[in-house]
Structure 1
Amino acid sequence: MRIAVTGTKGQIALALMERAGALLGVEVVALGRPELDLARPETIWPALASVRPRLVVSAAAYTAVDRAEGEPTLAHRINATGAGAVAEAAFRLGVPIIHLSTDYVFDGKKQGGYRETDAPAPLNVYGASKLAGEIAVAAAAPRHLILRTSWVYSPFGTNFVKTMLRLASVRKEIAIVADQCGNPSSALDIADAILRAAVAMDEGPACGIYHLAGTGTTSWADFARHVFSSSRARGGPWAEVRDITATEFAAQAARPLNTQLSTTKFAATFGWTMPPWQQSLDEVVGRIVQDDAGWHTPTPLPCAAIR
């Protein structure tokens, strides 16, 4: 099975290529700029048509949450128009599409985990653009799977875990928001889930919106504490965490306080649940600390609340 994934440097794309490398009969082809540019929809069909995949994974996106507040047109062009063009290309090829979306489509006012039947109500431009992308994908490709996930991290690219370790190498204390909660999700686990779902979509009519995230809930502050505890146990950098509120942090883009995702629908349909987030985090931290270039490399702060 040949799978085309949009984006060549994103966490999901890199995790898919790694995980698929251990599977017989599965090939992942990553397509990115300039050949495939979501901001230039006219590039999408030729790039995907040249690969002739049996399934498309729409993983590339505009993810700069705060910057999106000042670039709403660009965010929507990439996350909505671009995503819709990818889905249209998949439909023209006669293949299913798996599209990655976000917990930020919700406003965070619910108590407990969000289900797929809960009404979206994004608080920021990024969330609104991703919701528009979901609608565009569903309209363009009947054989679609939309996976909403949250707090993605991995040994690759820019993410909260790598930023924490980098900051801990130069700071003794880091202030982090403690009143926002969600499900930390390893991109490697997400890749495993995508590959499982890809087989199901190839064999049957599974489609619709599903929530997919690490098992268990935590706050950004406690997430960071576990990062530092795991790193310290492996001889890596660590720091003390000082709790602050989202109001104190005053980010440019409003963020939901609760983005817990219920994943029971995915588990019931595909027979698979992501591991506890602590277990997956320990594995990723171990890899990053072992390859210390992963936390020495300067990276911009991600869209989490860090001082």
Structure 2
Amino acid sequence: MNNINILVTGGNGQLGSELKELELKFPQYHFMFTNVEMLDICNHQAVAAFIEVNQITTIINCAAYTAVDKAEEQAELADKINHLAVANFAELSKMFNIKLIHISTDYVFDGMNYKPYTETVTPNPQSVYGKTKLDGELAMQKINPENSIIIRTSWVYSKFGNNFVKTMLRLGKEHKKLSVVADQIGTPTNAADLAKAILIILPKINNKTVDLFHYSNEGICSWYDFAKAIFEIGGLTLSVSPIETKDYPTPAKRPCYSVLNKRKIKEVYHIDIPYWKDSLMGNL
């Protein structure tokens, strides 16, 4: 089978939409984008039939339940999408001998580290969202399809969908003053950069056991720093005050430090990763 037929789940999300934007730049790939209405990713028979009929050779799983606070109340739904669907993909990837690229999150960590997280650090999620994403990772590793990888990422934004950048731009136009959390540290990820990295990595994947990688843009900042950069680059003038997490309580606990170490993915796949502020500048 010479054709590279790629099933992209979560096709209308941030990462799925950015992959769609790259179609013309990667003519060697034939993409099939699905969403929840088109394909029930937890239905083994439905996904198996889709793989067979369309001769799928790779699955890029961008589908996820990402409403972090809502997940505290909708744990069963979050588990279905973030865990059980991933197990389903892993079983089918093994059955059909196809590649699987699954996207996970920095929220699998407890945020108590003092230096960037490597792939060998033991996860300790503090939220339902983080736990369900970790359960998806563990299921995939247990089933262990060949030529499959997990990519953890953080603070994803895009010109598509709902995200921090869009929220800040909207609030920045509506208000003269804003307060933004300054004691949560991480790294923004432009979904366009991650999408490009995935398509560069894809033909190089060759591993017997599920491999784990971290990817975000380069550099480190707080949400406050991120917001300040958004307003500056977006040409918005307003007063922004730093606040602590305790001043902005949320149903789900966020990691206070979730910077990801990207050394492994850069060394294995020889990719260049842009600095977060440069990437943001290109997005606005």
Q: TM-score with structure 1 length normalisation?
A: 0.87
Match of 1:181 in 2: 185
Structure 1 counterpart of 2:78, from 75, 79, 85: 75
Q: Give the equivalent residue in structure 1 for 2:148.
A: 144
* Secondary structure of 1:272 counterpart: coil
Give, in angstroms, the shift of residue 42 of structure 1: 4.8
1:38-62 deviation digits (Å, cap 9, x = unpaired): 3555533233333222211011000
Q: Residues 122-271 of structure 1: matches in 2 within 5 Å? A: 122-140=125-143, 141-201=145-205, 204-205=206-207, 207-232=210-235, 237-271=236-270
Deviations 1:77-117 (A, max 9, x none): 11100111122222222111000000000001010100000
How far residue 255 of structure 1 moved from its aligned partner, in angstroms, is 0.7
1:276 aligned partner: 275
**Deviation of residue 23 (structure 1)?**
2.0
Contact 2:215 2:262 in 1 (8 A): yes
Q: Could you list the runs of 5+ residues in structure 2 that have no partner in the other structure? A: none
Separation of aligned partners in 2, 1:41 and 1:238: 51
Indicate conservation of the 8 Å contact 2:177/2:239, yes or no. Answer: yes
Residues 239, 89 of structure 1: alpha-carbon distance in 2 compared, 3 angstrom cutoff: farther
Question: In 2 relative to 1, CA 217–36 (structure 1 residues): closer, same or farther, beyond 3 Å?
Answer: same
RMSD: 1.5
Count of paired positions: 279
Cα distance in 2, alignment partners of residues 195 and 238 from structure 1: 38
Match of 1:55 among 37, 58, 61: 58
Q: In the alignment, which of 66, 69, 89 is matched to residue 66 of structure 1?
A: 69
Cα distance in 2 between the residues matched to 1:269 and 1:195: 15
Structure-2 separation of matches of 1:188 and 1:173: 30
Aligned-partner Cα distance in 2 for 1:134–1:9 = 22
CA distance in 2, matches of 1:149, 1:228: 24
Partners of 1:48 and 1:32 in 2: how far apart?
Answer: 15
Letter in 1 for 2:262: T
TM-score, length-scaled by structure 2: 0.94
Distance 1:36 1:252, change over 3 A: same
**For residue 278 of structure 1, what is the amino acid of its counterpart?**
K
Contact kept, 8 Å, 1:11 with 1:156, in 2: the verdict is yes
How many percent of aligned residue pairs carry the same amino acid? 35
Aligned mate of 2:100, from 97, 105, 124: 97
Counterpart pick for 2:18 among 12, 15, 19: 15
1:245-275, CA deviations, whole angstroms, 9 ceiling, x for partnerless residues?
Answer: 1111011101110000000000010001310
Contact 2:42–2:88 (8 Å) recurs in 1:
no
Alpha carbons of structure 1 residues 42 and 242: separation in structure 2 relative to 1, 3 Å: farther
Aligned twin of 1:304: none
Report runs of 4+ in structure 1 exceeding 6 Å deviation: none
